[in-house]
Amino acid sequence: MGRLQNCRATVINDNQRAAGAKAASRARLVVHNYLGTTWLETLAMNIPTVCFFDPRVFRPRETARPFFEVLQRIGVLHHSGVEAAKFVNGLNGDPSAWWQSAEVQEAREAFVARYANFSENWLPAWMEEFERLLAE
């Protein structure tokens, strides 16, 4: 715990009594340590999101690579926790200024539309997507 005392950020550990999406909706910034459903949810909910992952463990498929490259360039995705922490510290306690920029919002919206669409009418969209993927 001693190393955390010198951090510039105030870290609040949620009591985890609320559902994940509800707890995340109260956050000013969410940091994920893997590419799972929760990082897709916070992106779709338009919550400032940073995610780090090991590129040796996870490699996006070729069609997703351009989206990942943009998300890396704008600071959403990182290849290590240290890299992500340096980025977050560089936000100087104001993640919304970064997150609301046109560049970040355009990249987020493009990625969400393609890979994190949580629409009410999900079944026909999924069926269409699976058929498209099988045809590739």
Tokens at 44, concatenated: 């779709």
Tokens at 33, concatenated: 């340590």
For 10-26, b/e burial (b = at least 16 CB within 10 A) is eeeeeeeeeeeeeebee
Residue 80: count of CB within 10 angstroms of its CB: 12
Domain ranges, ordered by start, for the chain: 2-135
Strand pairing class (30-32; 49-52)? parallel
Question: Hey, is 104 helix, strand or coil?
Answer: helix
Per-residue pLDDT at 9 = 55
Q: What is the pTM of this model?
A: 0.77
Tokens at 76, concatenated: 């959403």
What's the average pLDDT block by block, 10 residues per block, for the chain (136 residues)?
A: 54 59 80 92 94 93 94 98 96 95 97 84 82 86
Per-residue pLDDT at 27 = 84
Per-residue pLDDT at 88 = 96
